[in-house]
C-alpha cells in the first residue's frame, strides 16, 4: 500500500510540474510573439529643430509614458542614409513598428516595407501617388496643412499694418506648396488688398536645415514692407525668428507652438499635431489595431489648428479671433474650399 501511495504522489507531482511548464511556455510565447518596441528615423534637421521632428519625438515620449513601449531613434544627418537607417531598425527582432518622419521617406519606406512584410511601418507626410499602391503594412499619415495655414493667413492679414505679409518655405515641393496656398487664400479671404511675398530656401531637402538662408529671405521680405512672416521650413525657421527680433517685426511659427523661440515676436503658430498622429499609430500597433492605408488629419480631426493662449492673446484682438473662428467653422463645414494648384 505504501508503495502504491508513493507512486501516486510522484505521478501527481510530475503532472503538476508539466502543467506549470506548459503555462510558462505559453506565457513566454504570448509575450514574445509581437515585438512592441518602436523605431523612428528623423527627417532632415533632426531632433532639436523645435518643429516637425521634435513633434514626432514628443509623440514617442508620450507613448512610452502612457503605453509602456520602448523606442529607438536614428538621425540620418543630411538624409542620404534614410533607407539604411530604416533597414537597420526593421532588422532588429524587438522592433515591430518603424516610422519615417517626412515626405522624402515615401519611396524608401515602400521599399523597406516590401523587404520586411512581417513588420509595420508608418510615414508622416507620406507623399500619396494615386498611380502607386501603398504596401499593406504601411500607414500613410497625411495632414490638411492648407486648412491650418488658411487660418493663420486670416490672422496675418487682419493684423498687418503695412498690407504686406510674407511666406518662407523650406523646399519647393507639393507638400510645402499646400502651406503656401492655404496661407495665401486665407490672406485673400480676410483682406484681398494684402499682398503676400513668397520665398523658398531651396529646391532640395537641404532647405529644411539652413537658418542662415531663411534669415536672409526674411530680412529681404521685412525690408520690402512685410510686417508678419509665416514659415514652413523646419529648422530653417530659426533664421526667421532671428530676423523678426532684429527688425522688431512678427513671425508665425509652424508644426509646434514656437513662441518660445522669440517671445513677443511670434504672433501665433500653425500647429500640426504630429505628436498625436505618432501616439495614435503606436497605440493602434500595441493594441493590434494597426490597419495600414491612408490616415488623414485636418480641422475636423483636430489634426491642425492655430495657437491662441496667454502667451499671444495680447497680440491678437478678440475681433480677429472671432473672424478666425468663423473661418474655421466654414472650412470645417465645407463652405470655404481651398483650391490646391
Question: Domain boundaries in the chain?
Answer: 37-143+275-301, 145-271+308-333
Q: What is the pLDDT of residue 6?
A: 43
Is pLDDT at 78 greater than 90 in this prediction?
Answer: no
pLDDT for residue 33 is more than 80: no
* Mean pLDDT to the nearest integer, 237-246: 98
- Could you identify the residue written with the cell 525690408? 223
Which pTM was predicted?
A: 0.83
Residue 61 phi, psi (nearest 5) = -60, -40
Angle at 143 between CA 140 and CA 149, to 5 degrees: 160
**Does position 44 have pLDDT exceeding 90, yes or no?**
no
- As a residue count, the chain comes to 341
Cell output for 307: 495657437
pLDDT digits (tens, 9 = 90+) for 100-133: 999 999 999 999 999 999 999 999 999 999 999 9
Alpha-carbon distances, residue 79 vs 59, 84, 238, 296 (angstroms) = 21, 10, 20, 25
Other Cβ atoms closer than 10 A to 99: 30
Please check the confidence at residue 21 and state whether its pLDDT lies above 50: no
Confidence of residue 32 (pLDDT cuts 50, 70, 90): very low
For residue 206, count CB atoms less than 10 angstroms from its CB and return exposed for 0-12, middle for 13-18, buried for 19 or more.
middle
Percent of the chain with pLDDT over 70: 89
For the cut 80, the answer to whether the pLDDT of residue 2 exceeds it is: no
Are 253 and 266 in contact, with CB atoms under 8 Å apart? yes
Place of cell 500500500: 1
Q: What is the C-alpha separation between 34 and 49, in angstroms, rounded?
A: 33
Cβ(184)–Cβ(153) below 8 Å? yes
- pLDDT at position 17, please? 39
Mean pLDDT of the chain: 89
Residue 268: per-residue pLDDT: 98
Query: Which residue in the block uniquely carries the three cell numbers 496667454?
Result: 310
**Residue 33: all three cell numbers together:** 510573439
- The answer to whether 53 and 101 are in contact (CB under 8 A) is yes
At 174 the pLDDT is 92
Fold of 145-271+308-333: Rossmann fold (3.40.50)
- Give the count of alpha carbons within 13 A of 43, CB side only: 30
Summarised one tens digit per residue, pLDDT across range 160-199 is 999 999 999 999 999 999 999 999 999 999 999 999 999 9
CATH of range 37-143+275-301; options 3.40.50.620, 3.30.428.10, 3.30.1360.70, 3.40.50.2300: 3.40.50.2300
Per DSSP, the three-state class of 336 is: coil
Question: Quick one: pLDDT at residue 181?
Answer: 98
Specify the pLDDT at position 29. Answer: 34
Render pLDDT for 250-285 as a digit per residue (tens, 0 to 9). 999 999 999 999 999 999 999 999 999 999 999 999
- On the 0-12 / 13-18 / 19+ scale of CB atoms within 10 A, 303 is buried
- Give the model confidence (pLDDT) of 212-235 as tens digits: 999 999 999 999 999 999 999 999
Grid cell in block for residue 218:
526674411
Tell me if 37-143+275-301 shares its fold with 145-271+308-333: yes
| 251: helix, strand or coil | strand
Amino acid at each position: 500500500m505504501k508503495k502504491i501511495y508513493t507512486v501516486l504522489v510522484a505521478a501527481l507531482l510530475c503532472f503538476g510540474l508539466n502543467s506549470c511548464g506548459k503555462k510558462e511556455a505559453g506565457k513566454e510565447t504570448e509575450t514574445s510573439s509581437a515585438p512592441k518596441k518602436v523605431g523612428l528615423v528623423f527627417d532632415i534637421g533632426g531632433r532639436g529643430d523645435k518643429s516637425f521632428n521634435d513633434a514626432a519625438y514628443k509623440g514617442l515620449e508620450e507613448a512610452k509614458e502612457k503605453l509602456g513601449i520602448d523606442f529607438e531613434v536614428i538621425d540620418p544627418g543630411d538624409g542620404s542614409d534614410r533607407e539604411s537607417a530604416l533597414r537597420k531598425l526593421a532588422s532588429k527582432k524587438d522592433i515591430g513598428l518603424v516610422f519615417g518622419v517626412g515626405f522624402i521617406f515615401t519611396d524608401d519606406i515602400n521599399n523597406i516595407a516590401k523587404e520586411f512584410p512581417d513588420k509595420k511601418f508608418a510615414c508622416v507626410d507620406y507623399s500619396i501617388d494615386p498611380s502607386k499602391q501603398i504596401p499593406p503594412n504601411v500607414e500613410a499619415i497625411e495632414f490638411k496643412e492648407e486648412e491650418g495655414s488658411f487660418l493663420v493667413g486670416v490672422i496675418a492679414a487682419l493684423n498687418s499694418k503695412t498690407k504686406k505679409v510674407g511666406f518662407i518655405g523650406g523646399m519647393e515641393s507639393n507638400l510645402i506648396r499646400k502651406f503656401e496656398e492655404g496661407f495665401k487664400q486665407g490672406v485673400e479671404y480676410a483682406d484681398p488688398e494684402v499682398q503676400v511675398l513668397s520665398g523658398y530656401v531651396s529646391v532640395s531637402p537641404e532647405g529644411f536645415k539652413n537658418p542662415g538662408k531663411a534669415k536672409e529671405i526674411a530680412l529681404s521680405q521685412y525690408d520690402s514692407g512685410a510686417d508678419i512672416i509665416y514659415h514652413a521650413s523646419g529648422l530653417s525657421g530659426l533664421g526667421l525668428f532671428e530676423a523678426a527680433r532684429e527688425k522688431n517685426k512678427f513671425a508665425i511659427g509652424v508644426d509646434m507652438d514656437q513662441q518660445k523661440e522669440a517671445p513677443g515676436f511670434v504672433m501665433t503658430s500653425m500647429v500640426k499635431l504630429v505628436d498625436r498622429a505618432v501616439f495614435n499609430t503606436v497605440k493602434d500597433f500595441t493594441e493590434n489595431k494597426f490597419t495600414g492605408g491612408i490616415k488623414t488629419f485636418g480641422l475636423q480631426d483636430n489634426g491642425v489648428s492655430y495657437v491662441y493662449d496667454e502667451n499671444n492673446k495680447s497680440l491678437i484682438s478678440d475681433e480677429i479671433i472671432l473672424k478666425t473662428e468663423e473661418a474655421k467653422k466654414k472650412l470645417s463645414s465645407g463652405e470655404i474650399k481651398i483650391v490646391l494648384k
